[in-house]
Amino acid sequence: MPSKPPIISLKSVHKYFGTYHALRNINLDVEEGQKIVVCGPSGSGKSTMIRCVNGLEQHDEGDITVNGHMMTTDEKTGNLIRQEVGMVFQSFNLFPHMKVIENLMMAQRMVRKKTKAEARDTGMKLLERVGISAQADKFPGQLSGGQQQRVAIARALCMNPKVMLFDEPTSALDPEMISEVLEVMTELAREGMTMICVTHEMGFARSVADRIVFMDEGEIVEAGEPETFFANPEHNRTRKFLDQIISH
């Protein structure tokens, strides 16, 4: 039986910011339904890598294929890919002048061409799923950080994406709000969503990830299943990083 091609595939990807070599020869395949956690010190290229996956950054060399589409500089191709890839940001990025439910409805109406009623319906269902349907008619600024991030997750899910990218989704949150966001993410993982999460939440990584990718200085140093990754990291750099984040 021929196996399905990976839903995300990065092949020899390089990215430069001016003369700075931000991504060095990145190779990564993600199968449908897999959960990948990406970790590494700041400036290691984690965010840049996942931002290349949906074309928020353009890579300079190599091939990125998402859901059968090869990423090009062409805006149409980029849009086609972005419509199937949800993204959650560190700073939530909810549209402040729109109510919560309007935040969820906008892309459904503009991109999926749904009617107002359909979009509202889907929006309310997803707000319920992340546990904040009571806040639908508030503005984002009236919500706590954890609530805002859950709205952001719901907003991405409204588009019925095939893949979800998380770019340090809990890093801007107060400690007591981290778990409510991680719970939503764990639930999503359990339902079979394909996910790439940049995060330092190692507990989440251990329980959810199929594979942990460790990056440093723009390259993937090592990647492996959580057990072996945490118990027997191959590389010194990985060991050092794990020591630093776990000892505190």
Partner 1 sequence: MQEIINWSDEFLAGAMVIIQLFFVSLLMVIVWGLLGATAKLSNSRIARGIANGFTVLCRGIPEFLLLLIVYFGSAVTLTNIARSWDPEIRFMDIPPFWAGAFAISLVIGAYATETFRGAFLGIDKGLVEAAKALGLTRFQVFWRLRLPMMWRLALPGFGNHLLSLLKDTALVSVIGVQGILFTAQQATTVNHKPFTMYLTVAFIFLALSTVIVVTMKCIEKYAYRHLEAAR
> Could you give the CA distance from residue 9 to residue 99 in angstroms, rounded to a whole number?
36
Taking residues 80 to 109 in sequence order and writing x for each that binds partner 1 by CB under 8 A, - otherwise, the string is --xxxxxx-x-x-xxxxxx-------xx--
Q: How far is the CB of 221 from partner 1 (least distance, A)?
A: 27
How near is the Cβ of 232 to partner 1 at its closest, in Å? 36
Nearest distance in Å: CB 149, partner 1: 12
Residue 3 to residues 67, 79, 163, 196: CA-CA distances in angstroms?
15, 27, 19, 21
Which residues, other chains included, contact 182 with Cβ-Cβ below 8 Å and sequence gap of 6+?
Answer: 170, 201, 203, 204
**Contact between 111 and partner 1 per CB under 8 A:** yes
**Is residue 231 helix, strand or coil?**
helix
Helices (H) and strands (E) in the chain, counts: 9, 10
Token duo for residue 214: 């460790």
Q: Per the structure block, which two tokens stand in for 12? A: 């020899």
116 scored as a contact of partner 1 (CB under 8 A): no
Window 214 to 243, contacts with partner 1 (CB under 8 A): none
- Candidate list 58, 69, 110, 228; residue touching partner 1; CB under 8 A: 110
- The one-letter amino acid at 87: M
* Binds partner 1 (CB under 8 A): choice among 6, 21, 56, 131: 56
- Rounded Cα distance, 233 and 17, in Å: 30
Site residues for partner 1, window 137-156 (CB under 8 A)?
Answer: 138-142, 152, 155-156
Question: Residue numbers of the site for partner 1 (CB under 8 A)?
Answer: 54, 56, 75, 79, 82-87, 89, 91, 93-98, 106-107, 110-111, 138-142, 152, 155-156, 159
